């Protein structure tokens, strides 16, 4: 299907980083545009000068690029449309759909409910209004809400309607000439030929006002689709208290863009056939507004972690090597190893990805294979080298056994270690856990036989020697203390 007249837009306000809710809105728009062969327009809504920053615009653009939310047009800046916004307001004034309001600025917000819907200024004749304006009297422009009802067919919520009695005459242009959100957004959407307005349902209450503006400006309505809000697993609106919520933060935590893309797509939408791991192309193929859920979506971090893991396991090893280079460097792996021993790096990452759900975690698991020297994790030492003499005794026996064998294949290593355990009359764990700390420095790692096999005999024996030195020193200092 290809309809070049289909035009959707994402219209973030650059007052903060791109958060999960905004990213999901952008992503649904992206999927809709790609599904229908339409155009995806990016508009930065920066009319609120005091709260909008260049830095946040850049951050939003970076996050979108990282997620792969490529837009076809823009970024346009709403502030550039100021003259058009004003012109549209004046068109409404001329047609009588708007009037000049001379109430002093604090009263220029919408009249409060119960005070009546109509500002007294609506009674001022256009001629009198024009004379007062000409004389320099400050004034705003207010929309004259017509009688009747405003209804629309929301692609998510179905038919919605509001009795216009409940909508107050709202301001279009403030007395300083700046447009309010509802005017700017409608003026822009008309100008840009937007055919679908898909956004968060926090904008549901603005929609009747916007529809009135479309009608008064003689423009045809887009299809509106309001996507439900996102809640934390505690049922409360997603916020900082739930931890990371910005795309940037997930990126820093090692979440993969494809995994986050997949996760966001499933926040309030589903393909309806139980599929969960879906790459971009599959999502585009399956997406439709008819399967956007009306009820709030729940942000389940465990699911994101699970999905990320699927992508870590599935990604081409070359890409994993590329992405893990920086965290490996940060973990002290020398540039020489990274550049000159690609097979070793690749093998370490391939083994480590069995256990990591983020690139950082995979890199941390792979680092001990590639580091010159390892350090011993405190908890691992406390758990498995609690009795240094005993640990050293078994480790010496292990060293002797491993130095005399020919094959370092995982299966052969397993036979040897199990035999050793029964000769020593201990459970295999008594040998394996302290050995893992000796070679990896950690309490957890991929399977020990695969680990030893990948390290090879020389490195394994070297690490064991290092650990024996450490254990002897531990035992010695305990004797002194004791
Ligand atoms: N700038 C508005 C916001 O960030 C979006 C407006 C719209 O999508 O109509 O909430």
187 lines ligand 1 (CB under 6 A): no
- Look at residue 115 in the predicted model and tell me its pLDDT: 44
Residue 227 Cβ < 6 Å to ligand 1: no
Residue 11 Cα to ligand 1 middle (Å):
5
Q: Catalytic site residues?
A: 240
Q: What pLDDT, on a 0 to 100 scale, did the predictor assign at position 403?
A: 96
Between the CA of 387 and the centroid of ligand 1 the distance, in Å, is: 62
Task: State the first-to-last Cα distance of the chain, in angstroms, to the nearest integer.
Answer: 80
Residue 68 backbone class (left: φ over 0; alpha: ψ -120 to 50; beta: rest): left
Which protein residue's CA is at the shortest distance from atom 7 of ligand 1?
Answer: 11
C-beta atoms surrounding 482 within 10 Å: 5
Instruction: Report H helices in 315-447.
Output: 317-330, 335-340, 342-352, 359-370, 378-384, 388-404, 410-424, 428-440
- Helices and strands (H and E) in the chain: how many: 19, 12
400 Cα to the center of ligand 1, angstroms: 69
Q: Which regions of the chain are under pLDDT 50?
A: 1, 113-116
- Give how far Cα 247 sits from Cα of 9, 64, 73, 203, 321, Å: 19, 9, 22, 22, 23
292-312 b/e (C-beta count within 10 Å ≥ 16 → b): beeebbebeeeebbebbbbbb
The CB of 44 under 6 Å from ligand 1? The reply is no
pLDDT in tens, 176-226: 999 999 999 999 999 999 999 999 999 999 999 999 999 999 999 999 999
Q: Would the CB of 363 count as within 6 Å of ligand 1?
A: no
Q: ∠ CA(330), CA(331), CA(332), 5° rounding?
A: 90
Atom of ligand 1 nearest to the CA of 9: 8
CA of 268 to the centre of ligand 1 (A): 18
CA neighbours closer than 13 Å in the CB half-sphere of residue 108? 24
How crowded is the C-beta side of 163, counted as CA atoms within 13 Å?
Answer: 3
Hey, whose CA ends up nearest to atom 5 of ligand 1?
11
| Upstream peptide bond of 362 is cis (omega within 30 degrees of 0) | no
Dist CA 300 CA 91 (whole Å): 48
pLDDT, position 4: 59
Which residue is closest in CA terms to ligand 1's atom 6? Answer: 11
Backbone angles phi, psi at 159, to 5 degrees: -70, 130
Q: What pLDDT is stored for residue 117 in this prediction?
A: 52
Question: Are the C-beta atoms of 467 and 437 separated by less than 8 Å?
Answer: yes
- pTM for the predicted model, two decimal places: 0.85
- Ligand 1 neighbourhood includes 209 CB (under 6 angstroms): no
Return the residue matching tokens 């017509």: 146
Report the candidate in 109, 84, 100 with the shortest Cα–Cα distance to residue 135.
100
Measured distance CA(125)–CA(109) in Å, rounded: 21
Predicted confidence (pLDDT) per residue in 41-78, tens digit: 999 999 888 888 999 999 999 999 999 999 999 999 99
Going by DSSP bridges, is the β-strand pair 158-163/98-101 parallel, antiparallel, or unpaired? unpaired
- pLDDT at residue 482, rounded to an integer: 64
**Strand-strand pairing, 7-10 and 39-44:** parallel
Q: What does the block give as tokens for 298?
A: 């729940």
Separation CA 255–CA 264 (nearest Å): 12
Query: What's the CA gap between 409 and 97, in Å, rounded?
Result: 83
In short, whether 203's Cβ falls inside 6 Å of ligand 1 is yes
Pick from 10, 61, 16, 62: nearest CA to 31:
10
């Amino acid at each position: 299907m290809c309809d070049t007249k289909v035009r959707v837009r994402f219209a973030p306000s650059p007052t903060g980083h791109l958060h999960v809710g905004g990213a999901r809105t952008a992503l649904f728009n992206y999927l809709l545009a790609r599904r229908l062969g339409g155009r995806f327009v990016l508009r930065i809504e920066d009319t609120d000068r005091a709260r909008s920053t260049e830095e946040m615009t850049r951050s939003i653009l970076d996050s979108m690029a990282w997620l792969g939310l490529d837009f076809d047009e823009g970024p346009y800046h709403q502030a550039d449309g100021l003259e058009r916004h004003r012109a549209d307001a004046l068109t409404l004034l001329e047609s009588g759909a708007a009037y000049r309001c001379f109430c002093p600025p604090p009263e220029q917000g919408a009249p409060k409910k119960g005070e009546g819907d109509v500002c007294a200024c609506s009674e001022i004749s256009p001629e009198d209004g024009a004379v007062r304006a000409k004389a320099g009297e400050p004034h705003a422009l207010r929309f004259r809400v017509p009688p009747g009802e405003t209804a629309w067919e929301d692609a998510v919520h179905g038919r919605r309607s509001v009795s216009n009695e409940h909508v107050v005459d709202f301001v279009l242009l403030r007395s300083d000439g700046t447009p309010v959100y509802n005017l700017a957004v409608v003026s822009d959407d008309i100008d840009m030929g937007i055919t679908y307005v898909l956004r968060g349902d926090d904008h549901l209450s603005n929609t009747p006002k916007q529809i009135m503006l479309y009608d008064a400006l003689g423009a045809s309505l887009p299809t509106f689709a309001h996507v439900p809000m996102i809640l934390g697993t505690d049922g409360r609106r997603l916020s900082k208290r739930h931890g990371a919520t910005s795309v940037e933060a997930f990126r820093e935590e090692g979440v993969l863009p494809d995994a986050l893309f997949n996760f966001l797509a499933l926040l309030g939408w589903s393909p309806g056939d139980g599929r969960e791991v879906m790459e971009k192309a599959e999502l585009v193929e399956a997406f439709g507004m008819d399967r956007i859920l009306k009820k709030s979506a729940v942000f389940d971090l465990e699911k994101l972690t699970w999905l990320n893991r699927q992508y870590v396991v599935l990604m081409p090893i070359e890409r994993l090597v590329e992405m893990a280079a920086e965290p490996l460097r940060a973990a002290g792996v020398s540039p020489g190893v990274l550049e000159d021993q690609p097979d070793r790096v690749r093998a370490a990452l391939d083994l480590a990805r069995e256990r990591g759900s983020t690139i950082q975690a995979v890199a941390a698991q792979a680092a001990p294979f590639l580091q010159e020297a390892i350090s011993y994790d405190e908890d691992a030492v406390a758990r498995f080298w609690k009795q240094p003499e005993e640990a050293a005794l078994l480790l010496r026996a292990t060293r002797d056994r491993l130095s005399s064998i020919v094959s370092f294949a995982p299966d052969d290593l397993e036979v040897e270690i199990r035999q050793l355990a029964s000769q020593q009359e201990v459970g295999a764990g008594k040998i394996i856990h302290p050995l893992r700390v000796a070679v990896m420095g950690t309490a957890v790692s991929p399977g020990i036989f695969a680990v030893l096999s990948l390290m090879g005999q020389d490195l394994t024996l070297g690490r064991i020697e290092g650990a024996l030195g450490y254990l002897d020193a531990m035992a010695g200092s305990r004797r002194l203390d004791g």
